Structure 1
Amino acid sequence: MKSKIVFWLLVVCVVSPPLCAQQNQKLDSLLTLYQNLDDGIRKYEVLAQAHELTLYNDIDAAKNYVDLSVKLARQLDYKKGIAQSNYNLGVYYNNIGKKDSAFASYKKSLQQYIAIKDISGETAVRHGLAILKFAESDYDKSLNLIEENIEIQSVQRPIDSSRLASSFYLKGYTQVKKANYKVALVETLKALKIFERIAQPDREADAIALLGEIEYHLGNIDKSLEYDKKSLAIYRRINDKFYEAESMLTIADTYMEIKEYDTAMDYLNDALPLAREIQSPSIETMILGALGDIATEKGEYYKAIDYIKASTKISKEAKRPAILGENWLSTSLFYSKVNQPKIAIQYLDSTLQNAKSTGNKDLLQRAYFDGSKLYSELGNHKQAYAYYVDFHNISDSILNSDKSKRIEELRSKFDTEKKEQQIVLQEKEITVLEQQASISNLQRILMGIGLLLSLIGFYAIRQKMKRNRLEKEKVDAELEFKKKELTTHALNLARKNETLENLKLKAQELKEKENMGAGYNQLIRSINFDLQDDNNWENFSRYFEEVHKDFNSTVKSKYPQVTSNELRLLALLKMNLSSKEIANILNISPEGIKKARYRLRKKLDLSTEDSLQDLVLSL
């Protein structure tokens, strides 16, 4: 899974040593000024600045300053100061992980800002609430809050461009979490355009990095890497070491996905000393975990466990439960590789407990799958089967969730296009009415005569139009039925191949355990024959050609260099199937699908900006 962390969005900050020195100097000046001021609004503002300076590098001092500011604001009956202090308390509680307290402080601040009609403060608090809801995975509520902010900010004069761009950015990132990637792309580009115009390079780099994540999810790996490297260059230019390290980790993750481990290690080895320099346990643990994964893939198991143990130690000290769960799963995999399944099971149990407590479905899915294999190795087939069922159930729930998100995105797109069509029709009606209003009385008389004459053939024409409409409806209905039939056939073929592949693996395990080679060999050969049976593909091709007429001939005429296997891949892409479904139908691994897509892009001469999916859909 590609690692992407939007640190500024979740209100996390790390201050570099040189900047710390500057801030300490400024803080000393503020405290001196504070001692010499009488109680008043100016003194409150000094406390607010001191809180802001210490929020990310001395959380206890920040809490002290915010408590003093609350007390002073109440003493002065300074309503804006009271609202701001409650907001600052919300930020503080959010940073230390007390979400309920943060929510209560934000809500109190929002009511106070609304009461004094301070729109700037109101939108700042609503943004904080949106982030809280985002962190709770309540993406719909988060989006509602963001939309309120965008609506208010768009009509406010003067417009706070930076805050408006931040709202677009947060909206884009939330849509990524909802898997609405094309919607996310539009919103993130809006944010990027504003950040570029107001010259905020740090936020510009954040937006570019998010574009990289979106392109990754859309399957455009080259484009994703291009964006990630562009954002990395900006972070280096502005000397932002924290995000420089995070960007290198992100790029390394992408190279790991496409099995370019040496390139990934180069980025990780450059990022590790940076993470230690800025004292970021989150980034350091993820880098060590990634290095462990690479070592595991290379078969260097004992080197891998050293990385994983180092990562686990830091995760425990820094209290990072999400990363700790990943470390335990990696540790379980290590002991499985070195033939110590009982120890592997112990770490697997810790992983399952962690995944359930953090609500990490992806980790839970992988843990159940690994557990099924481990218990099978131990001969506990009952538990292996139970874990496999749990794995399948979670996989189905994730798949259904993804399908629901895709349907919601398509419905939203349909509603938008429908409204646009209605507007066009209304404009045409207005144009017709205007033209009718300009017709002279003579023209009206002539039109009346023409209308009278046309009545003779009107009935016949009307009947013909009715027959044409009915015929079109019939054709449309048949095409829709064929589309459903094609989809059903494809999904059944994918499910059948997946089941046969699992059955083959089980037969191979039993063959090794029970020394009954001849019978199992015959079973495995039968399964392989069925998996490779071209009749399955011929039946699918027949359905496909009925729905997408001339697709194969069009591809062959435009791209004669495409092989028959690549033509099969193009047909499945045309149906907009998932990579997993395509892999099952073609009986190859998901990694094989990625490589096939990559080779196909090269053969079709697609640049990094071009989308393979868009090209296929246009054929």
Structure 2
Amino acid sequence: MQLKYLGLTSFFLYSLIFPLNSIAQDSNEELPYVRKTDSTFFILKSKLVEAKRESSSTKILLSYLNLGEFYHYSGVYSEAIDQYNKGLKLVESKERDTFYVIFKNNIGKVHFSLKKFDMAIKSFEEGINSANNLNYLRGQAVSKGLLGACFEKKAEYQKALKFQKESLILFEKLNDQNGLAAVNENIGSIYEDLDNYEQSHKYFLKSYNHFKNRNNKEEANVLNNLGDVFRKSGNLEEAFFFTEKALAIAQKIKDYHQLESAHKDLSKTYAKYGDYKKAHEYLLKSEEFNDELLKVQNTNQVNVLQTVYETNKKEAQIQLLKEQNKVSKANQKLLWITLFAVMVVLGFLYHYSSRKRKAERKIQGYKQRMLKAELDKKAIEEENLQDEIKLKTAALSRYSLHLSQKNKILFDLSKTLRNIASRKHMDTGHKIKELVKEIDFNLQQEKEWDEFTNFFKEIHPDFIKKLSALSQSNLSPAEMRLGMLLRLNLSSKEISSILRVTPDSVRVARYRLRKKLRIDQKKELVNFMVEL
């Protein structure tokens, strides 16, 4: 079912006799006035402003109706409802009951477009009740036709027929040919849904007799309906005749919706005829027109929304300027008093801020001195710490050297004593042997190594942990000692003296340690240990 736009000048009449022949297709038809969205919208807004300035209730109501219709057919449904509700509020306050019926019907139409049929039914029923109370026949006819359309969409066909036929009787009393044509088409559509093609054809033909030779979308729509009925009843020749006639009118008036409907119906007819190639071609053309229809719809809706947004923005700016102007006039009366008060307050604030700045400068200076003292203290502590590290490093080196020298002396002494003991004619042999045993025993003690290790950890706390982490297998104590001595940058000769082994043994130990740590051959072992 489709809403037919009759132009702004005839809106009031249209609202009374509106047939709602195919409201489900509202959003799909290209509306004439949308092509001039800006000018139409500005005219409607200016009419509303003018009506409010003249305090003309009738003109204000008509302006709200026209704006609501503009938003409705542009697909901006929330704004349409808003305009209708504004008019409805004015109607209720002024007790203009015939307008109440019209606004209720228009609100129902918006809900119908949104497929909220229960809400639409409620609005139409309220319109009928009000029209009955006023004995307002045209309002009753329109409301019942709209209500019948809702029940048809809900597939409650008996209720739909009841209200459509009641609407038909009322339009006959009013001798309203447009209303009769629309309701006859609605009844034909219901009988088509019920597969009663004889009755459907009868009512569609009555509607067509009214629209015949007008070459408009209403005629094209009825022709399409007649083509549907003939196709469904098996009369394919008549179906082709009426649908192609509808297509010719649609092409002439360039109505995308009627073009889409005609091509779709022809596709179905060719399919029944067995010509699937042509059926497919017409179906594709139908889809193309449907796509074009959606593009036009989306473009029109965006244009309307953009125009409304810009207009509302300008109105808000104008209102803001008006409010600012009012405030400005009010402020002029208090300007001198306010100026004096401001001067007093500024003087007080200046004095207060001046004192505050001085106090803040003093506090800032004190903080800076405290910070400088803290920094100086930290610098001294840092310097002392560096000195301590240097002293400990030097001590560690001296300790290592001392250990080396001590072991060398002990080793030499042990060797000498062995030589003396080997002389058989000396009586001191037994005593010297005991001395040698005691010296050897002391050389084997680990106490000094424990002290060395603790001392080393103080200087290089993370070295042993890092060195252990580099090897997949655990390092032996001897390997750990070698690593520590290499970290002190000692030569192989010095290391051999400390460890009481030959330099060759140190070289072998260095090789094994390098292999265990997987150190690159190009990397010096000592440098690696120092960087670790």
Residue 152 of structure 2 contacts residue 160 of structure 2 at CA under 8 Å; is this kept in 1?
yes
User: How far is 1:336 from its partner?
Assistant: 0.9
Distance 1:451 1:362 in 2: 78
Kindly state the Cα deviation for residue 346 of structure 1 after the two structures are TM-superposed.
Answer: 0.8
Q: Determine if the alignment matches structure 1 residue 330 to structure 2 residue 228.
A: no
The 3-state SS of whatever aligns with 2:60 is: helix
C-alpha offsets along residues 339-381 of structure 1, whole Å, 9 cap, x if unaligned? 2222211110111122334444322221211111212332334
Mapped to 1, the partners of 2:186 and 2:360 lie a distance apart of 78
Equivalence map 1:8-407=2 (5 Å)? 10=10, 138-154=36-52, 156=53, 158-316=54-212, 321-407=216-302
Q: Distance in 2 between matches of 1:205 and 1:6?
A: 20
Looking at structure 1, the residues matched to 57 and 359 of structure 2 have their Cα atoms a distance apart, in angstroms, of 60
* SS of match in other structure, 2:10: coil
Shift of 1:141: 2.6
**Paired position in structure 1 for 2:462:** none
Distance 1:342 1:213, change over 3 A: same
Larger radius of gyration: 2
Q: CA deviation at 1:436?
A: 10
Distance 1:442 1:284, change over 3 A: same
State the secondary structure of the residue aligned to 2:135.
coil
Residue 221 of structure 1: how far off its partner (Å):
2.2
Q: Distance in 2 between matches of 1:262 and 1:189?
A: 32
Rounded to whole Å, the distance in 2 between the matches of 1:221 and 1:373 is 29
Residue 402 of structure 2 corresponds to none
Matched residues in 2 for 1:298 and 1:364: separation? 26
The aligned residue for residue 460 of structure 1 is none
| Cα separation, partners in 2 of 1:255 and 1:361, compared to 1, 3 Å | farther
Q: Give unmatched runs, 5+ long, in structure 1.
A: 15-132, 457-619
Secondary structure in structure 2 of the residue aligned to 1:259? coil
Q: Distance in 2 between matches of 1:137 and 1:233?
A: 38
Q: Distance in 1 between matches of 2:88 and 2:8?
A: 15
Report % sequence identity.
Answer: 15
Verify the 8 A CA contact 2:76 2:305 in the aligned structure 1.
no
Q: CA deviation at 1:390?
A: 2.2
Instruction: Kindly state the Cα deviation for residue 408 of structure 1 after the two structures are TM-superposed.
Output: 4.3
1:489-500 counterparts in 2 under 5 A? none
Instruction: Note if contact 1:368-1:391 (Cα within 8 Å) is conserved in structure 2.
Output: yes
Distance (whole Å) between structure 1 residues aligned to residue 81 and residue 205 of structure 2: 38
Which one is further off, 195-204 or 255-264? 195-204
Q: Which moved more, 1:266-275 or 1:402-411?
A: 402-411
TM-score by length of structure 1 reads 0.46
2:441 corresponds to 1:441:
no
Closer/same/farther in 2, CA of residues 403 and 446 from structure 1, 3 Å limit: farther
Gap change, CA 1:359 and 1:274, over 3 Å in 2 = farther
Q: TM-score, normalised by structure 2?
A: 0.53
Secondary structure of the 1:10 match is helix
Instruction: Say if 2:74 and 2:304, in contact at 8 Å, map to a contact too.
Output: no
Q: Structure with the greater relative contact order (CA < 8 A, sep ≥ 6): 1 or 2?
A: 2
**Structural mapping, 1:550-569, within 5 Å:** none
Structure 2: where are the runs of 5+ without partners? 15-30, 329-338, 368-532
Q: Distance in 2 between matches of 1:190 and 1:212?
A: 15
Name the amino acid aligned to 2:274.
G
How far apart in 1 are the matches of 2:359 and 2:138? Answer: 78
Name 1:127's counterpart in structure 2.
none
Provide the rounded CA distance (Å) in 2 between the counterparts of 1:316 and 1:230.
35
Paired residue type of 1:234: S
Residue type at the aligned position of 1:342 = E
Q: Matched residues in 2 for 1:450 and 1:295: separation? A: 94
Residue 369 and residue 331 in structure 1: after superposition, are their counterparts in 2 closer, same or farther (change >3 A)?
same
Is the contact made by 1:315 and 1:324 (CA closer than 8 Å) also made in structure 2? yes
Task: Supply the distance in 1 between the matched residues of 2:34 and 2:299 (Cα, whole angstroms).
Answer: 20
Equivalenced residue count is 329
Deviations 1:151-204 (CA, angstroms, capped at 9, x unpaired): 3333x3x52222122112211111111111112222222222222223321122
How big is the shift at 1:419? 9.6
